[in-house]
Amino acid sequence: MLGVKTTSRSPVAISVVTPSVRPEGLELVERSLAEQSFQSFEWIVASPSRPVGLSRPFRWVADPPRRAYERWTLNRVLNATVRASQASLLVSWQDFTAAGPDTLGRFWRHYCNAPRRLVSGAGHKYGDSSLSTRTWTDPRLGGGRGPGPCPFAWVEFNLCSLPREAALDVGGFDEWLDRYLGMDGYSLLDRLDMVGGWEFWLDPFVETRSLEHARLDGWQEHNALGEPYLGRRLSYLRQPRLGYLDRSS
């Protein structure tokens, strides 16, 4: 049996990180965590107010207050969860998402085999709580492929593993992008790809089942797709390390 590697920071191997502004979105995550065969993990819930009614122990990280121009885009709150983490591996497991009982075990095995590897799960979206009515099919699952390297943009923060060192390596998630919606993961993945030395994998056996839920108001008009994002990406090329996080975090 694979031994559990720990660090001086914590007796747990994995920090499961779940940002949420909708308390009802935590039920699927909690249910899935209770079923995990790999149990050396802590659960960090990041939300504006402390969730109530959860039966599983968790640590709460208060969502940092929004400034006037900011949207709830996750970058500042994800940086807060990296600071709070007590493990060498983070698993981003967003709300309204269920996954199989070997999810954390597979992520941990990937990390033990390749500590500089980010691994994404993959799956579909469903329209009701029975998870029987599919509303969206994941295009990454075509071709019946097994686990292996993928383009960095395929790593989906809906469910993925992220070595804590990766976030520190590039200074964290880019909080500048909190003025837009829907850009939480891209700045970090872009910069990891640019600095090099990190692997990006897709593991289709980490199967997600996400409940469809409406986007926040104003998503389309405030997202960073197009020129604002392309312009920001050029600045990454000039200075890819932004100092939102450092190794003392």
Please, which residues have CB within 8 angstroms of residue 4's CB and are 6 or more apart in sequence? Answer: 13, 40, 108
Question: Is 211 within 8 Å of 131 (Cβ atoms)?
Answer: yes
Task: List, in order of start, the domains of the chain with CATH numbers.
Answer: 14-238 (3.90.550.10)
Average pLDDT over residues 31-38: 97
Maximum average pLDDT range among 21-25, 94-98, 186-190: 94-98
Buried b / exposed e along 161-187 (16+ C-beta atoms within 10 A): bbbbebbebbbbbbbebbbbbbbbbbb
Average pLDDT over residues 5-32: 83
User: CA distances (Å), 14 to each of 135, 150, 200, in order?
Assistant: 31, 23, 18
Q: How far apart are CA 188 and CA 177, in angstroms?
A: 11
Angle (CA) 217-222-227 rounded to 5° is: 160
- The closest alpha carbon to 246, from 188, 168, 157, 174, belongs to 168
Average pLDDT over residues 231-248: 73
Question: Is 27 within 8 Å of 55 (Cβ atoms)?
Answer: no
Amino acid residing at 227: E
User: What per-residue confidence (pLDDT) applies to 6?
Assistant: 37
* For residue 238, pLDDT beyond 90: no
Among the listed ranges 162-166, 191-195, 219-223, which one has the minimum average pLDDT value? 219-223
Amino acid residing at 186: Y
User: What per-residue confidence (pLDDT) applies to 85?
Assistant: 95
* For residue 102, pLDDT beyond 70: yes
User: CA distances (Å), 203 to each of 84, 111, 180, 239, in order?
Assistant: 27, 13, 29, 31
Beta bridge partners of 118: 200
Write the pLDDT tens digit of every residue in 169-196.
989 988 877 776 655 555 788 889 988 9
Question: Is 182 within 8 Å of 223 (Cβ atoms)?
Answer: yes
Which token pair is 176? Answer: 């500048």
User: What per-residue confidence (pLDDT) applies to 229?
Assistant: 62
* For residue 225, pLDDT beyond 70: no
Predicted structure pTM score: 0.88
Write the pLDDT tens digit of every residue in 115-155.
999 999 999 889 887 888 888 888 888 877 899 999 998 99
* For residue 9, pLDDT beyond 60: no
Among the listed ranges 6-15, 191-200, 217-226, which one has the minimum average pLDDT value? 217-226
H/E stretch holding 199: strand 199-211
Average pLDDT over residues 28-46: 97
Mean per-residue pLDDT of the chain: 85
No. of H helices and E strands in the chain? 7, 10
Q: How far apart are CA 38 and CA 1, in angstroms?
A: 11
What is the percent of the chain with per-residue pLDDT over 90, rounded to a whole number?
51
Under the banding of pLDDT at 50, 70 and 90, the label for residue 17 is very high
